[in-house]
């Protein structure tokens, strides 16, 4: 469509035709603005590229204005949101893809850190709210001492889970369909899916950790101090390992961790293995174990710890599978 034909159309008329027109020719600056507004009124997020003074109004009105860095005028650069330094249109595609990957990885890190910390909060809340009832059921006694985690335990867990694994998520590759997604108008990272995942994953980690603590006390024979130490050790290891394994869950809220490929992000894999080794060192190095007031675990207790730690992964994979089936049916 040429500018003279565009001139005859009202904005409402252009809105009805704009999605069916592939090329506009010989248009004025006012026409370009009109085209941008027509597309926006149709619900599109509009990107506009230009290099001249006549492109400046449309660059300013578009959601994303892209000016040419080499041939572009100063006016167009001032009006634009993005300057393409090499004047190559392919750079725009690469920038969008990289931007989406970075955004996704930021969301992953936030989801991982918040869900992990919610798990720690849930453990403490359960120990406060349910101490009396649990002591009555199990006959434990010593309600005031029913503390699953000591401050030094929480500091260690935050050190090993909030550092390397969270940083390694920044190196995660983009989703395979990343360029097929529609632009997102929301500026918030806390979408419905993310908030739901943070809530149920954090609560699940917390409940499983507290169950591990109670099992450690209930299964142990001997004095109260011995029972408490075993329970705290099981809670400490369950929470640490469940958070480290949980980092694989947040790599995608839609795709299975097996579909994403567990070994593709080698930095993340290294971070998890390294922190598991450090945590095992806390248990097996006697001076460190005594400083942390922990106990040596039996084979049975180790199996229970790893079994409970992997439950969040199983539940998350099940939720993803159910959601995928629902999406496929629509």
The predicted-structure confidence for 17-37, as pLDDT tens digits, reads as follows 999 988 999 999 999 999 999
Return d(Cα 120, Cα 116) in angstroms, integer. Answer: 7
Neighbours of 99 (CB within 10 A): 11
Return d(Cα 201, Cα 187) in angstroms, integer. Answer: 24
Q: Is 276 exposed, middle or buried, given 0-12, 13-18 or 19+ CB atoms closer than 10 A?
A: middle
What DSSP designation does 255 have?
Answer: S
Statement: residue 258 has pLDDT above 70: yes
The two tokens of residue 195 are 């908030």
Region 253-258: what's the mean pLDDT? Answer: 82
Statement: residue 185 has pLDDT above 80: no
Return d(Cα 298, Cα 231) in angstroms, integer. Answer: 12
Q: Reduced to 3 DSSP states, what percent helix, strand and coil does the chain have, rounded to the nearest 5?
A: 70, 5, 25
Place of tokens 């922190």: 275
Residue 303: the pLDDT is 95
For residue 196, which of 254, 239, 152, 142 has the smallest C-alpha distance?
A: 254
The CATH classification of domain 98-329, taken from the options 1.20.1110.10, 2.60.40.10, 3.40.50.1000, 1.10.260.40: 1.20.1110.10
Statement: residue 75 has pLDDT above 90: yes
The two tokens of residue 85 are 């330094």
Return d(Cα 311, Cα 223) in angstroms, integer. Answer: 31
pTM of the model: 0.84
Domain ranges of the chain: 3-88, 98-329
Domain spanning 3-88 has what CATH number?
Answer: 3.40.50.1000
Q: Please give the order of strands across the beta sheet that includes 47-50.
A: 47-50, 64-68, 82-84
15 alpha-carbon distance from chain centroid: 37
For residue 51, which of 22, 87, 5 has the smallest C-alpha distance?
A: 87
Tell me the sheet residues that pair with 39: none
Residue 135: the pLDDT is 62
């Amino acid at each position: 469509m040429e500018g003279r034909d565009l001139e005859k159309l009202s904005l409402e008329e252009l809105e009805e035709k704009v999605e069916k027109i592939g090329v506009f020719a010989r248009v004025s600056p006012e026409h370009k603005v009109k085209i941008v507004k027509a597309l926006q009124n149709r619900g599109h997020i509009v990107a506009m590229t230009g290099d001249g003074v006549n492109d400046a109004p449309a660059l300013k009105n578009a959601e994303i204005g892209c000016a040419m860095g080499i041939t572009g005028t100063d006016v167009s650069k001032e009006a634009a949101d993005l300057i393409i330094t090499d004047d190559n249109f392919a750079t725009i595609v690469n920038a969008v893809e990289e931007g989406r990957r970075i955004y996704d990885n930021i969301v992953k890190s936030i989801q991982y850190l918040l869900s992990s910390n919610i798990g720690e909060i849930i453990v403490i809340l359960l120990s406060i709210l349910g101490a009396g009832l649990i002591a009555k059921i199990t006959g434990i006694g010593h309600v005031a001492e029913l503390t699953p985690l000591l401050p030094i335990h929480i500091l260690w867990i935050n050190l090993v889970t909030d550092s390397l694994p969270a940083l390694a998520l920044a190196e995660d590759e983009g989703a395979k369909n990343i360029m097929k997604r529609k632009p997102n108008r929301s500026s918030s990272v806390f979408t419905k899916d993310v908030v739901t995942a943070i809530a149920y994953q954090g609560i699940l980690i917390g409940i499983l950790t507290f169950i591990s603590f109670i099992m450690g006390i209930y299964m142990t024979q001997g004095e109260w101090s011995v029972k408490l130490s075993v329970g705290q050790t099981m809670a400490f290891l369950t929470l640490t390992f469940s958070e480290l394994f949980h980092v694989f869950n947040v790599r995608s809220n839609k795709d299975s961790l097996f579909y994403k490929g567990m070994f593709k992000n080698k930095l993340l894999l290294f971070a998890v293995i390294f922190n598991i080794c450090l945590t095992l060192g806390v248990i097996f190095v006697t001076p460190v174990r005594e400083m942390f007031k922990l106990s040596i675990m039996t084979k049975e207790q180790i199996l229970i710890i790893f079994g409970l730690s992997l439950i969040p992964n199983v539940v998350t994979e099940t939720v993803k599978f159910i959601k995928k089936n629902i999406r496929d049916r629509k």
